[in-house]
Amino acid sequence: MKSLINKLKNSHAVAVFSGAGISTLCGIPDFRGPQGLYKQPDAERIFDIEWFRRDAAIYYRGCMELVYGLRRFNPGPVHHAVARLEQAGIVKGVITQNIDMLHQKAGSRIVYEVHGSPLLHHCLSCGRAKTFEEICVMLESTPVPRCEVCGEAFKPDITFFGEMLPEKAFDSAIALAQKADLMLVLGSSLTVHPAASIPSMTVRAGGELVIINAQPTPLDGIATLLYPDLAAFADAVLDAWSEGTPR
């Protein structure tokens, strides 16, 4: 870990790429893990845009706990470590596959959510927007939150199967990856494409790759450093950069 801390101190622009592994540390089930959503009946319909248009209740029923229960969860040590590194001017942005909004809760300001986000919901028909909190309030009295103007369902800005990835977040993520001199992969097995190809762009642009993940990833071969233990990384960072310390 010492060599990683030194590497971070000597980098000018660090990008973070995060996945489910950093959130399972806070008790949030991995969508693809054994407790995750994809084990539920109806699983492949829940995040399918065609099914959502047909019957939005499938999504809202399936995600009542997993998405709208996210209010109960707090960021974990890795989220805090990443936010601390941004405050110290080392991390220039976070690219995340997660839809749990925990980086923002921990204080990270530059977050590119490449699989979308439930932070905003839009009416399928007129495009009217509601915040996550507004939708949570509506769900207390209705199974499917609907637009007060046209009666259509509100859909979260999470990227569903059958939808394009969020173009703006994706383009910004690629720009960040290409200008970074160090890409730090945290808790992603780098298997869900195309987002998982982003870290290799840093290497192709001449930067270095460091991967911290419990399992091997397809990019291990081009990484400079590999670590299995996310909690040890968070401890080392929070130890090296105590609150308010400039780099």
Give residues in contact with Zn ion (CB under 5 A): 123, 125-126, 128, 147, 149-150
Give the separation between CA 77 and CA 237, rounded to whole angstroms.
10
| Nearest residue to 231 (alpha-carbon basis) of 15, 101, 76 | 76
51 alpha-carbon distance from chain centroid: 24
Minimum distance, C-beta of residue 135 to Zn ion, in the bound complex (Å) = 14
If the CB atoms of residues 127 and 216 are measured against Zn ion, the closer one turns out to be 127
| Nearest residue to 69 (alpha-carbon basis) of 28, 130, 35 | 28
Minimum distance, C-beta of residue 124 to Zn ion, in the bound complex (Å) = 7
Minimum distance, C-beta of residue 153 to Zn ion, in the bound complex (Å) = 9
Please, what sign has the CA dihedral across residues 140, 144, 145, 151?
Answer: negative
Look at residue 91 and give its three-state secondary structure.
strand
- DSSP element (H, E) containing 240: helix 230-240
Q: What's the DSSP call for residue 201?
A: H
Residue 183: other Cβ atoms inside 10 A: 29
- Which residue in the list 79, 80, 115, 121 is annotated as catalytic? 115
Give the separation between CA 182 and CA 245, rounded to whole angstroms.
21
If the CB atoms of residues 115 and 121 are measured against Zn ion, the closer one turns out to be 121
Minimum distance, C-beta of residue 125 to Zn ion, in the bound complex (Å) = 5
The residue to which tokens 């805090």 are assigned: 80
Minimum distance, C-beta of residue 149 to Zn ion, in the bound complex (Å) = 5
- CA angle at 219 for the pair 33 and 35, rounded to the nearest 5°: 5
If the CB atoms of residues 45 and 122 are measured against Zn ion, the closer one turns out to be 122
If the CB atoms of residues 100 and 152 are measured against Zn ion, the closer one turns out to be 152
If the CB atoms of residues 125 and 215 are measured against Zn ion, the closer one turns out to be 125
Is 193 an annotated catalytic residue? no
State the catalytic residues: 115
